[in-house]
């Protein structure tokens, strides 16, 4: 099938494209307020762009930990004695910092966007630009694939996934179509999924909505929202006083969770006040207004267009 329109979030892929172009690089470095002798954590190492920028600002005694659950990211490991690569999901931040003997750190950075590498890897099933097995796992060693989810989940569960993570108005129709199609034969490839979804998507925004279908499955397969909740709950315990939490989001659910924690200190956004009416939160916001990429950055890197940067400081 042919899709009707262009899509910024997938960008223009080239075979020699970099692993990932770091988004809001200077803004996130400024947000971290890096001390030369500080301890920092890059929770989404990926291509190492943010990590290299942090290391360039650290002195001889500074330290940086880079998390990534994807084996492919290991090819980008920085050869620097100040750097430690952690092959793990960032939801285990607190456990790993305890393992390495770090009582408190001075800054945590998380860029929640998917690396360009994943969209451009024809074998991983993240993109509808290639006909490939529906895998979508960030960690290829564990968990159900997107194909497993499509073939095993109930119709109501699939509808919830498409509605919550893809924000698709026709989520129920899409889920019903998947269940009907899999009764004839398993949904196994990206082409299988596109053939099911395309007739249900308005032609004028077909590519954009198809990207939302794939996004929804990816977020569910990798339990991205659950992992983010775990990390955000751990962050106040890991950060020292004055430490910075810097998070770049690309989806309304992610952004709402980050905003809630930075404002109220909890996932629900429940504001609690002391006797004097002061908000009882471990954080105070550094940027009152959300930071977004400049027009120049959006043109240079179309995949940055939906990015939002929030920064908070541990009190």
Domain boundaries, the chain: 25-116+225-314, 140-221
Mean pLDDT (whole number) for 196-201? 96
Q: How confident is the model at residue 125 (pLDDT cuts 50, 70, 90)?
A: low
Give the integer Cα–Cα distance in Å for 88 and 96. 9
Instruction: Check whether 5 has a pLDDT greater than 90.
Output: no
What is the model's pLDDT at position 175?
98
C-alpha of 106 from chain center? 22
Q: How confident is the model at residue 236 (pLDDT cuts 50, 70, 90)?
A: very high
Q: Which of 51, 47, 53, 166 is nearest to 115 (CA)?
A: 47
pLDDT tens track for 79-91:
999 999 999 999 9
Please list the residues that pair with 86 across neighbouring strands: 67
Instruction: Check whether 11 has a pLDDT greater than 70.
Output: no
Mean pLDDT (whole number) for 64-71? 93
Burial (CB < 10 A; 0-12, 13-18, 19+), residue 287, is: middle
What is the model's pLDDT at position 126?
59
Reading the block at residue 78, the tokens are 């920085």
CATH number of 140-221: 1.10.150.170
CATH class of 25-116+225-314: alpha beta
pLDDT tens track for 245-293:
999 999 999 999 999 999 999 999 988 888 887 888 999 999 989 999 9
Instruction: Check whether 114 has a pLDDT greater than 80.
Output: no
Give the integer Cα–Cα distance in Å for 126 and 79. 29
What is the model's pLDDT at position 115?
59
From edge to edge, which strands make up the β-sheet containing 83-86? 83-86, 63-67, 39-42, 105-111, 239-249, 308-314, 283-285
Q: Which of 215, 238, 219 is nearest to 227 (CA)?
A: 219
Mean pLDDT (whole number) for 204-213? 92
What is the model's pLDDT at position 131?
83
Place of tokens 């269940």: 179
Runs of H (alpha helix) within the chain: 25-32, 49-57, 93-99, 116-120, 146-152, 155-166, 171-184, 190-197, 206-221, 224-238, 252-264, 295-300
Give the integer Cα–Cα distance in Å for 148 and 272. 42
Lowest mean pLDDT among 161-165, 234-238, 275-279, 292-296: 275-279
Residue 96 half-sphere exposure toward CB, CA atoms < 13 A? 21
Neighbouring CB atoms inside 10 A of 73's CB total 23
What is the model's pLDDT at position 254?
95
On average, the pLDDT of the chain sits at 89
Reading the block at residue 209, the tokens are 């909505």
Burial (CB < 10 A; 0-12, 13-18, 19+), residue 220, is: buried
């Amino acid at each position: 099938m042919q899709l009707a329109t262009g899509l910024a979030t997938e960008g223009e892929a080239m075979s020699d494209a970099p692993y990932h172009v770091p988004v809001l690089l200077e803004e996130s470095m400024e947000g971290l307020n890096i001390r030369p002798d500080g301890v920092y954590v890059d929770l989404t190492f990926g291509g190492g762009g943010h990590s290299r920028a942090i290391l360039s600002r650290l002195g001889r005694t500074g330290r940086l930990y880079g998390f990534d659950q994807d084996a492919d990211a290991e090819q980008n490991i920085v050869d620097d004695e100040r750097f430690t690569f952690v092959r793990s999901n960032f939801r285990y931040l607190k456990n790993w910092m305890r393992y390495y003997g770090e009582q408190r750190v001075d800054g945590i950075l998380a860029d929640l966007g998917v690396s360009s590498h994943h969209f451009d890897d024809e074998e991983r099933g993240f993109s509808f630009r290639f006909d490939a097995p529906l895998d979508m796992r960030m960690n290829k060693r564990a968990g159900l694939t997107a194909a497993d989810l499509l073939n095993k989940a109930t119709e109501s569960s699939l509808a919830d996934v498409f509605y919550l993570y893809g924000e698709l108005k026709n989520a129920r129709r899409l889920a019903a179509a998947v269940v009907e199609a899999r009764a004839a034969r398993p949904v196994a490839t990206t082409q299988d999924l596109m053939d099911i979804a395309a007739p249900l998507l308005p032609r004028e925004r077909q590519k954009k909505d198809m990207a939302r279908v794939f996004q929804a499955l990816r977020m569910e397969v990798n339990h991205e929202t659950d992992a983010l909740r775990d990390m955000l709950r751990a962050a106040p315990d890991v950060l020292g006083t004055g430490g910075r939490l810097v998070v770049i989001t690309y989806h309304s659910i992610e952004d709402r969770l980050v905003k809630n924690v930075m404002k109220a200190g909890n996932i629900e956004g429940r504001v609690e006040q002391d006797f004097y009416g002061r908000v009882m939160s471990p954080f105070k916001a550094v940027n009152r207004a959300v930071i977004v990429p400049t027009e120049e950055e959006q043109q240079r890197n179309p995949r940055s267009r939906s990015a939002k940067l929030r920064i908070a400081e541990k009190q």
